[in-house]
Amino acid sequence: MGPIDWRLAVKGLAGFIVGLALWLMLSPLYDRAIATGAEKVMRVFETPKVTRLVPMPDGSIRVDRSDFDPRSPRPGIRVSDLTFNFALLTALFAVSRRTFSDRNIGGFFAASAILALTHIVATIARVMSIYVAKLGAWSRVTYSDFDRNVWGIADHGYRLVFMYAFAFGLWFLFRDTASVAPAGAKAKTKRRKK
């Protein structure tokens, strides 16, 4: 496959570590913001507006419904399980010949903003996957098998593979023009010179 460009490998590793550190530091605040956004979107489509996503001290989000018996247990979700693809995005943007070019930095912020929107949608899918299948008889009576399939696939698919695919796709769209992986290109050039 050709020689590895170690400078790019180090940049990628550094981008990954910075992204992971940022994600770890900002998760408590970011998760709240995402939960608030998801709650607002869900309530737009709800009649009556009953869903509340309540941040808990342990970092999880409690899925509350005002039409449920207050004594019944509430499920919880971890929004951080849906958002760590941010570290993948930072690593990919770091693997660039011009990491700190205006275009690469601007692209990174644009991609991050869109990624945040996918996090809101993913949180909604997570909550809906609980509503349609995890709340016993209420789920069976309130939602159809079609609903269960749609929200189940949306939630599972996002967590298994699409959270990474979105990060990859956004990087591909917004990266700097002289972007990644020149190692192979370098190898070709060298061979041509010979």
Q: Does 184 bind other proteins (CB under 8 A)?
A: yes
User: Binding residue for other proteins (CB under 8 A) from 51, 60, 85, 129?
Assistant: 85
Number of residues in the chain: 194
Rounded Cα distance, 20 and 31, in Å: 15
Rounded Cα distance, 113 and 107, in Å: 10
User: Binding residue for other proteins (CB under 8 A) from 80, 99, 101, 139?
Assistant: 80
- Mark residues 23-62: x for contact with other proteins by CB under 8 A, - for none: xx--------------------------------------
State the alpha helices, DSSP H only, in the chain.
6-45, 80-83, 85-94, 102-133, 136-142, 145-157, 163-174, 182-193
Give 19 or 37: the residue with its C-beta nearer to other proteins. 19
Q: How far is the CB of 53 from other proteins (least distance, A)?
A: 20
Among residues 53, 74, 66, which one has the least CA distance to residue 119?
Answer: 53
| C-alpha dist (Å) from residue 145 to 92, 98, 149 | 39, 50, 6
In the complex, which residues of this chain contact other proteins (CB under 8 A)?
1-2, 12, 16, 20, 23-24, 80-81, 84-85, 87-88, 91-92, 95, 153, 156-157, 159-162, 164-165, 168-169, 172-173, 175-185, 187-188
